[in-house]
Amino acid sequence: MSLFDLLAIVENDDSLHLGRLLILLAAFGGPQGQNSVDGLTKLAKLDFLLRYPANLERALTARGRRASDANVQDFERTSIESEMVRYRFGPWDFRYRRLINVLAAKGLVSVWTEGRTVRIQISPAGGVAARELIDKLVYKDVWNRARLLKRHFDLTATKLMKFIYETFPEVISLRAGERIKR
């Protein structure tokens, strides 16, 4: 099996994405899970920065923060993931609704709408599951980066979207399926 085939299998394994989203929601939920992420658009933009740490570094620099806080490893800069693929609506894909529904079905998040905004909040069971993931060495950087996002990028969905488009103008100029070159 080729490296490309292995990466395709990992990319299509929901558990990796579910774990990352759960940690992101835990970071934004507050100590008691009392806060929500307001909107799928905001969630997708935050996950873009979490999923692609070299871009988080670039975003931190754009906000006048230390890029080194993202603790990006050399392998993360040169991985195939670092040349991410544009899906629908920019650098995020269509799976968020399904992934959030899976987390909700497992009782790990609560989801409700207010007006046209979908609100997503980690549940007590989700908080326990997130802590179990965070305790694993493989998720330490994800947790630390999620907390950076909470500290520096807890903006409204509209402000975050504008920031992403201003900081990463290349994501809106590509056709779906094209790789973003660094």
Any idea what the Cα angle at residue 40 is, between residues 36 and 43, rounded to 5°? Answer: 65
Residues 99 and 105: their CA atoms lie apart, in Å, by: 10
Task: Give the model confidence (pLDDT) of 84-96 as tens digits.
Answer: 554 444 445 678 8
Q: How confident is the model at residue 57 (pLDDT cuts 50, 70, 90)?
A: very high
Q: At what angle do helices 53-62 and 40-51 cross, to 10 degrees?
A: 110
The predicted structure's pLDDT at residue 88: 42
Task: Give the model confidence (pLDDT) of 11-48 as tens digits.
Answer: 566 888 899 999 999 999 987 788 999 999 899 999 98
The predicted structure's pLDDT at residue 67: 94
The predicted structure's pLDDT at residue 176: 58
Residues 33 and 131: their CA atoms lie apart, in Å, by: 12
The predicted structure's pLDDT at residue 145: 97
The predicted structure's pLDDT at residue 77: 77
Residues 36 and 8: their CA atoms lie apart, in Å, by: 31
The predicted structure's pLDDT at residue 94: 72
Task: Give the model confidence (pLDDT) of 92-119 as tens digits.
Answer: 567 889 999 999 999 999 999 999 999 9
Picking from 28, 67, 19, 66, the residue whose alpha carbon sits closest to that of residue 160 is 28
Task: Give the model confidence (pLDDT) of 131-155 as tens digits.
Answer: 999 999 889 999 999 999 999 999 9
Spell out the alpha helix ranges (H) of the chain: 3-11, 14-29, 40-51, 53-62, 74-78, 96-105, 124-134, 140-153, 157-167
What's this model's pTM, rounded to 2 decimal places? 0.85
Q: Please provide the average confidence, as pLDDT, over all residues in the chain.
A: 84
Spell 14-41 as b/e; 16+ CB within 10 A means b: eeebbbbbbbbbbbbbeeebebbbbbbb
Residues 163 and 59: their CA atoms lie apart, in Å, by: 9
